[in-house]
């Protein structure tokens, strides 16, 4: 029975991976369609190409982008979930099999030998984050993080007195320098936390676990998100770096308590090909996939 449950869940994870790799989330598709009607002919041609690419990816079950990304899994295990599973092994096996079956480009390179493992998995890949929560089901977020939009990502600590003052300037400079190379229009995720690694985790959640247009529940943070969207879109980098249309689709910020002596900031980017999806598995092994 345990082996049957394991294989059934692994099959569901592979279905999640295929869905995420071949389907643009509805919130992203809608904003691209809304932009199309109010931009120049050149921008409309670009957006039409982007949307056509997504349409073909879904109908032909092929990845939206040739860079199928680094696999990230956010695993939320309910304390009331009754099945015992070796989740890290399951997710690693599921991804390695998906690389061969879909197929996906294998993106795991040994940093010492510079050799591609050829399987899509390796030491530290996939990236798996585990949290236990008070539910009776399991939630698995799968995210494919492209390499091009990872290059300009930064994390740093500054003194608390200058934190809020420095934050917009840091983001602005990164977009000015790298905005053309992140396949815009892009999304920005910002995290503020107690340590650099906690700030990065918060930034990743901001980047991928919120939909476009969703604002932080803290009014000050929500206003800063809106301010940054306006600020960054005045840089005239534009769609695919051609100087027209929006450079940034949205900015999301998540915050956590900081140490009294530090103000830790992480700034992450994601190109317009947002690849994220959620799989829920219940005790009776029912499943649902949500983009």
Each residue's pLDDT tens digit, 122-162 = 999 999 999 999 999 999 999 999 999 999 999 999 999 98
pLDDT (0 to 100) of residue 1: 63
Tokens 């295929």, residue located: 18
Mean pLDDT of 91-117: 98
In the chain, what are the domain boundaries? 2-23+64-146+275-290, 154-270
Are the beta carbons of 289 and 142 closer than 8 angstroms? no
> 118 exposed, middle or buried (CB, 10 Å; 0-12, 13-18, 19+)?
exposed
DSSP 239: G
Look at residue 149 and give its three-state secondary structure.
coil
pLDDT (0 to 100) of residue 38: 86
Are the beta carbons of 270 and 282 closer than 8 angstroms? no
Q: Which of 35-39, 185-189, 274-278 has the lowest mean pLDDT?
A: 35-39
CATH class name, domain 2-23+64-146+275-290:
alpha beta
Say how far apart CA 208 and CA 199 lie, in whole Å: 14
Given 3-state DSSP classes, what are the helix, strand and coil percentages for the chain, each rounded to the nearest 5? 40, 25, 35
| Radius of gyration, CA atoms only, the chain | 19
């Amino acid at each position: 029975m345990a082996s049957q449950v394991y294989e059934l869940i692994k099959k569901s994870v592979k279905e999640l991976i295929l869905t995420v790799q071949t389907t643009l989330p509805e919130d992203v598709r809608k904003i691209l369609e809304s932009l199309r009607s109010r931009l120049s002919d050149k921008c409309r041609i670009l957006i039409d190409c982007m949307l056509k690419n997504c349409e073909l990816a879904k109908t032909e079950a092929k990845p939206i982008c040739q860079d199928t990304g680094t696999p990230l899994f956010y695993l939320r295990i309910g304390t009331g979930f009754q099945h015992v599973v070796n989740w890290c092994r399951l997710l690693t096996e599921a991804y390695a099999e998906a690389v061969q079956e879909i197929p996906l480009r294998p993106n795991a390179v040994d940093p010492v030998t510079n050799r591609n493992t050829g399987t899509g998995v390796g030491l530290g890949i996939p990236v798996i984050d585990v949290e236990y929560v008070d539910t009776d089901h399991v939630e698995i977020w799968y995210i494919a993080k492209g390499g091009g939009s990872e290059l300009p990502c930064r994390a740093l600590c500054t003194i608390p007195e200058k934190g809020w003052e420095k934050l917009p300037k840091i983001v602005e400079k990164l977009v000015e320098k790298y905005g053309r190379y992140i396949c815009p229009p892009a999304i920005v995720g910002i995290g503020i936390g107690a340590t650099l690694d906690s700030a990065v985790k918060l930034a990743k959640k901001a980047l991928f676990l919120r939909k476009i247009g969703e604002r932080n529940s803290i009014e000050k943070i929500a206003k800063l998100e809106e301010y940054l969207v306006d600020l960054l879109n005045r840089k005239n980098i534009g769609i695919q770096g051609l100087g027209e249309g929006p450079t940034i689709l949205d900015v999301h910020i998540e915050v956590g308590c900081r140490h009294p002596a530090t103000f830790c900031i992480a700034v992450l980017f994601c190109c317009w090909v947002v690849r994220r999806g959620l799989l829920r598995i219940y005790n009776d092994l029912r499943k649902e996939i949500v983009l």
